[in-house]
Amino acid sequence: MKKKLKPEPLDRSGLISRATALLGRRDYSRQELFRKLSPLTESPIVLNEVLDYLSELGWQSDQRFTRQMVSSSVRRGRGPMRVSRELSAKGIDQELVVSALEATTESDWYEAAMAEAAKKLRTLRVPFNEAKPRLYRFLMYRGYTSDIILTVLNETEKAAQSSEEEQS
């Protein structure tokens, strides 16, 4: 069995090159880039200098990364609590997280939760009263606040009752 040879540590220009290649595909938080590039260098000081340089050029921005992640998460049906957890895990400062979440309107979160609830209800195929606790847990798992969930459940229940009345 052949052993994998450890690659030569990258110098400053090699780190910049590798970082720009990564950033060319998608945005990364500073901490994510640090984790990806740190095995490729012997000096975390040089790596921090490279990351500072990329930030100065505007090629790496935690603020831009946070905005993009929040808007992507809303489209994917994730709630504010889950998005906050994910961003914190990626090393984003809590102030940036709060400002990005506040920039997203309540109606955006509500619409995303309504869409997720409608999708889930189609797959459950049980009466709404039986589906309600499952739906609540599902939306909690997706990261929505209890206020949003209760509003969604009330609206969904009204819609289910009106469709039952139309069918009778």
Q: Helix 106-124 to helix 146-167 angle, to the nearest 10 degrees?
A: 50
CB atoms within 10 A of CB 143: 20
Q: Is 1 a residue whose pLDDT tops 60?
A: no
> Does residue 84 surpass a pLDDT of 80?
yes
Q: Are 127 and 167 in contact (CB under 8 A)?
A: no
- Cβ 13 vs Cβ 46: under 8 Å: no
Question: How confident is the model at residue 166, as a pLDDT?
Answer: 66
Confidence of residue 168 (pLDDT cuts 50, 70, 90): low
What ranges in 26-127 are assigned the alpha helix state H? 30-37, 44-57, 62-75, 80-89, 94-103, 106-124
pLDDT digits (tens, 9 = 90+) for 96-130: 999 999 999 989 999 999 999 999 988 988 888 88
CA distances from 45 to 51, 89, 94 (A): 10, 23, 25
- For residues 137-158, give the mean pLDDT: 94
What pTM did the predictor assign? 0.83
Residue 165 has pLDDT above 80, yes or no: no
